[in-house]
């Protein structure tokens, strides 16, 4: 087997155990023009470029990705821009290169993130045959999705994305929904979640907050989600999920939170204590510290010249990863939910804390609200997990707690103190307009 001309003679002892790379074969190029998209501006970093990954870069990447793994699994993840713009033949060659270079017979996990609009039967047959996990970007029902997800003529794209999803389902391709949460859909959490669950049949869902800065000291774009709305969104979806769907629908943020409550790594970089194991690969072989830091300051090198293992072990990359932990403001160090939040992604750390600390995460208020809100059911699920019982048992516990709360509220007179402990009269508090159990204080399990 031909070996990499740039493979180090011995594997550095401090090489990360599992190296994740998000490959962007078409760079930032996309067939849509979503109004909140941050990646299109990256075109300016490669002026005049066609943004097509060459076979030389493709083969180097795949070989080095296999060579970089110390465990039994290699993940090949494709993203954009819109990666399907590369054409099906590019991905067929990628699979051929896998066969050529997977000499240790690692288990290969393939993932691709797409807007779904270019999928057809041929694509889906290929994705099914090669067991790709497809992430498809849908922001909710058409009126919420189409608020920002438009094509280059400003036309809505929901129907096209849904046609892609139907084809995935027809060909039994495993998919998850990636929903960005922004100004247009953040006030509709239950509607969005139920739409995915009930109408699209989704079993795996990721919610990603849109946070785009206008510039230093200039706030965020109009499309960005507000911190309090992000917290409310997560709480409302959680309340629906914990009453109905534990064990049948998997929401990435909730899985990660449960891992934190159980005391194991959350598996999602934004909630890890440190980062640095998720590189981004540009179309021309340039490797960056992270998908969220594709900029000249975070360029580690090019994999046609330096092996991925060496790039990932570079001191600046190690420092980048540790800085997530070491750069936390004191406000975070004193926070009761830091074990689950860890200050989220450094990309979003441009806020000012109530104590004047700089570098607070813009979404802090939302995360505090969310992680505190889910504490009781998460503790219950963690206990169940420790006892070897399925976390889904929590649904019965929450139902029981809801019933007890319901009984307490029904026995309360309009002028009595509200059972929630606010000190206000019931008629001015939770009795003001017949709220449902899920809108009452989180059940204490
Ligand atoms: S910078 Fe943000 S997105 Fe990148 S690895 Fe760290 S937490 Fe994850
Ligand atoms: S909730 Fe806020 S204060 Fe607490 S760790 Fe997260 S960002 Fe820091």
Mutational pocket test of ligand 2: of 338, 342, 358, the residue with most ligand atoms within 8 Å of the beta carbon: 338
**Cα–Cα distance for residue pair 299/309, rounded to 1 Å:** 15
> Could you tell me the distance, in angstroms and rounded to a whole number, from the CA of residue 286 to the centre of ligand 2?
33
Ligand 2 atom at minimum distance from 371 CA: 1
Q: What is the reported pLDDT for 14?
A: 46
- The more confident residue out of 439 and 316 is 316
Residue 441 confidence (pLDDT) above 70: no
Catalytic positions, written as ranges: 291
- Break the chain down into helix, strand, coil percent, rounded to 5: 40, 15, 45
DSSP 96-111: HHHHHH-TT-PEEEEE
Q: What is the reported pLDDT for 434?
A: 55
pLDDT (tens digit, 9 = 90+) per residue, 279-301? Answer: 999 999 999 999 999 999 999 99
Paired strand residues for 319: none
Q: What is the reported pLDDT for 234?
A: 98
> Could you tell me the distance, in angstroms and rounded to a whole number, from the CA of residue 79 to the centre of ligand 2?
29
> Could you tell me the distance, in angstroms and rounded to a whole number, from the CA of residue 346 to the centre of ligand 1?
7
> Could you tell me the distance, in angstroms and rounded to a whole number, from the CA of residue 293 to the centre of ligand 1?
8
Average pLDDT over residues 189-210: 97
Alpha carbon nearest to ligand 2 atom 3, residue:
332
Q: What is the reported pLDDT for 424?
A: 86
pLDDT band at 2 (very low <50, low <70, confident <90, very high): very low
Q: What is the reported pLDDT for 40?
A: 59
Alpha carbon nearest to ligand 2 atom 1, residue:
368
Residue 119 confidence (pLDDT) above 50: yes
> Would you say the CB of residue 332 lies under 6 angstroms from ligand 2?
yes
**Cα–Cα distance for residue pair 159/152, rounded to 1 Å:** 16
Pocket, ligand 1, Cβ cutoff 6 A: 269-270, 275, 278, 290, 292, 324, 345-347
Q: What is the reported pLDDT for 41?
A: 66
Paired strand residues for 174: 133
Ligand nearest to the CA of 336: 2
> Would you say the CB of residue 338 lies under 6 angstroms from ligand 2?
yes
> Would you say the CB of residue 343 lies under 6 angstroms from ligand 2?
yes
Q: Where are the beta strands (DSSP E) in 265-393?
A: 278-281, 286-288, 299-302, 351-352, 358-360
Q: What is the reported pLDDT for 426?
A: 85
Mutational pocket test of ligand 1: of 298, 321, 345, 350, the residue with most ligand atoms within 8 Å of the beta carbon: 345
**Cα–Cα distance for residue pair 319/297, rounded to 1 Å:** 13
Residue 422 confidence (pLDDT) above 50: yes
pLDDT (tens digit, 9 = 90+) per residue, 40-86? Answer: 567 788 888 889 999 999 999 999 999 998 889 999 999 988 999 99
> Would you say the CB of residue 341 lies under 6 angstroms from ligand 2?
yes
pLDDT (tens digit, 9 = 90+) per residue, 323-334? Answer: 999 999 999 999
> Could you tell me the distance, in angstroms and rounded to a whole number, from the CA of residue 20 to the centre of ligand 2?
26
Kindly state the tokens that stand for 386: 């420790």
> Could you tell me the distance, in angstroms and rounded to a whole number, from the CA of residue 276 to the centre of ligand 1?
7
> Could you tell me the distance, in angstroms and rounded to a whole number, from the CA of residue 368 to the centre of ligand 2?
6
Return the DSSP state at 426. G
Return the DSSP state at 71. S
Q: What is the reported pLDDT for 433?
A: 60
pLDDT (tens digit, 9 = 90+) per residue, 337-363? Answer: 999 999 999 999 999 999 999 999 999
> Would you say the CB of residue 348 lies under 6 angstroms from ligand 2?
no
Ligand nearest to the CA of 273: 1
Q: What is the reported pLDDT for 326?
A: 97
- The more confident residue out of 4 and 427 is 427
Q: What is the reported pLDDT for 405?
A: 84
Q: What is the reported pLDDT for 9?
A: 34
Alpha carbon nearest to ligand 2 atom 8, residue:
332
Least confident of 70-74, 317-321, 363-367: 70-74
> Would you say the CB of residue 364 lies under 6 angstroms from ligand 2?
yes
**Cα–Cα distance for residue pair 36/227, rounded to 1 Å:** 17
Task: Count CB-CB contacts under 10 A for residue 189.
Answer: 22
Ligand nearest to the CA of 278: 1
pLDDT band at 39 (very low <50, low <70, confident <90, very high): low
**Cα–Cα distance for residue pair 351/367, rounded to 1 Å:** 13
Please, are residues 269 and 422 in contact by the beta-carbon 8 Å criterion?
A: no
> Could you tell me the distance, in angstroms and rounded to a whole number, from the CA of residue 384 to the centre of ligand 2?
27
pLDDT (tens digit, 9 = 90+) per residue, 397-408? Answer: 999 988 988 888
Average pLDDT over residues 232-249: 97
Average pLDDT over residues 98-111: 96
Q: Which of 37, 175, 77 is nearest to 119 (CA)?
A: 175
Alpha carbon nearest to ligand 1 atom 5, residue:
275
Q: What's the mean pLDDT when you consider all of the chain? A: 91
Mutational pocket test of ligand 2: of 253, 327, 336, 343, the residue with most ligand atoms within 8 Å of the beta carbon: 343
Q: What is the reported pLDDT for 436?
A: 46
Residue 156 confidence (pLDDT) above 90: yes
């Amino acid at each position: 087997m031909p070996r990499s001309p740039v493979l180090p003679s011995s594997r550095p002892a401090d090489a990360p155990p599992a190296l994740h790379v998000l490959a962007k074969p078409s760079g930032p190029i996309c067939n849509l023009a979503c109004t909140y998209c941050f990646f299109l501006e990256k075109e300016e970093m490669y002026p005049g470029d066609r943004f097509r990954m060459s076979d030389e870069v493709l083969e180097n990447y795949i070989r080095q990705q296999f060579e970089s793994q110390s465990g039994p699994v290699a993940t090949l993840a494709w993203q954009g821009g819109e990666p399907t713009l590369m054409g099906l033949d590019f991905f067929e060659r990628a699979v051929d290169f896998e066969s050529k270079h997977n000499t240790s017979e690692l288990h290969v996990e393939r993932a691709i993130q797409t807007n779904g609009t270019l999928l057809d039967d041929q694509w889906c047959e290929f994705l099914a045959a090669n067991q790709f996990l497809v992430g498809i970007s849908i922001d909710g029902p058409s009126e919420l999705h189409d608020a920002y997800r438009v094509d280059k003529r400003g036309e809505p794209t929901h129907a096209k994305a849904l046609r892609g999803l139907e084809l995935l389902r027809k060909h039994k391709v495993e998919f998850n929904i990636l929903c960005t949460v922004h100004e247009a859909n953040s006030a509709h959490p239950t509607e969005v979640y139920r739409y995915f669950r009930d109408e699209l049949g989704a079993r795996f869902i990721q919610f990603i907050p849109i946070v785009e800065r206008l510039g230093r000291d200039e706030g965020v774009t109009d499309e960005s989600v507000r911190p309090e709305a992000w917290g409310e969104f997560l709480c409302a979806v959680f309340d629906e999920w914990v009453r109905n769907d534990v064990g049948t629908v998997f929401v990435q943020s909730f899985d990660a939170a449960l891992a934190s409550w159980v005391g194991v790594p959350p598996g999602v970089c934004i909630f890890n204590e440190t980062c640095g194991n998720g590189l981004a690969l540009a179309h021309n072989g340039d490797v960056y510290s992270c998908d969220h830091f594709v900029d000249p300051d975070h360029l580690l090198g090019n994999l046609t010249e330096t092996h991925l293992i060496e790039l990932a072990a570079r001191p600046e990359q190690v420092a980048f990863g540790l800085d997530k932990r070491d750069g936390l403001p004191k406000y975070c160090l004193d926070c009761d939910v830091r074990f689950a939040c860890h200050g989220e992604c450094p990309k979003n750390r441009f806020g000012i804390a109530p104590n004047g600390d700089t570098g607070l995460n813009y979404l802090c208020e939302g995360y505090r609200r969310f992680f505190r809100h889910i504490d009781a059911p998460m503790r219950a699920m963690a206990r169940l997990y420790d006892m070897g019982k399925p976390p889904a048992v929590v649904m019965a516990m929450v139902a029981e707690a809801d019933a007890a709360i319901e009984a307490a509220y029904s026995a309360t007179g309009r002028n009595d103190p509200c059972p929630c402990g606010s000190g206000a009269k019931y008629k001015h508090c939770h009795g003001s307009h017949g709220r449902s159990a899920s809108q009452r204080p989180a059940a204490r399990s």
